[in-house]
Amino acid sequence: MQQPPKRPRHLMDPDNPVRPVNDRSLTNVQRWVMSVLVVFTIAHLAIGIAIAANTVPDDALAARIGLSVISCAFGVIGVAAGILIHGNRPFARRFAPWLALGLLPGLVGLWFALR
């Protein structure tokens, strides 16, 4: 009787895994990766809206201010979404500095728009 060819040692055998997977640390890494992706994706949107506020004609000051306010809102929403992914309440007092950081793209855009 002929035996099946032996699998090379550097490959894992799906029927007999070498080591167990630590689900808790894997979940923690997945949570951090997801929150970073969400925060940076929404931050790019907020920065894009702040840049768009500066491309509006100079005589449309209300539009520039409105787009800057929308940019602030998206920044805060992005930071709040990142906090929510970790299972925390985003509007708790201890997260106030992080939420204030979400205002940064809109405030910088407003500064450039009013210059």
Q: Give the rounded percent of residues in the chain with a pLDDT score beyond 70.
A: 87
Q: Supply 60's token pair.
A: 């449309």
The CA distance from 49 to 109, in Å, is: 8
Tell whether 37 is covered by a domain.
Answer: no
Tell whether 13 is covered by a domain.
Answer: no
Tell whether 75 is covered by a domain.
Answer: yes
Q: Write out the residue range of the structural domain in which residue 57 sits.
A: 43-114
Q: Which of 5-14, 16-25, 62-71 has the highest mean pLDDT?
A: 62-71
SS3 50: helix
Q: What is the pTM of this model?
A: 0.78
Tell whether 101 is covered by a domain.
Answer: yes
Report pLDDT digits (tens) over 35-58: 999 999 999 999 999 999 999 999
Tell whether 9 is covered by a domain.
Answer: no
The CA distance from 115 to 101, in Å, is: 22
Number of separate domains in the chain: 1
Instruction: Read off the pLDDT band of 19 (50, 70, 90).
Output: low
The residue that leads in pLDDT, 16 or 94, is: 94
Per-residue confidence (pLDDT) for residue 89, from 0 to 100: 95
Tell whether 14 is covered by a domain.
Answer: no
DSSP string, 57-100: -TT-HHHHHHHHHHHHHHHHHHHHHHHHHTT--TTSGGGHHHHH
Tell whether 110 is covered by a domain.
Answer: yes
Report pLDDT digits (tens) over 1-16: 788 777 666 677 777 7
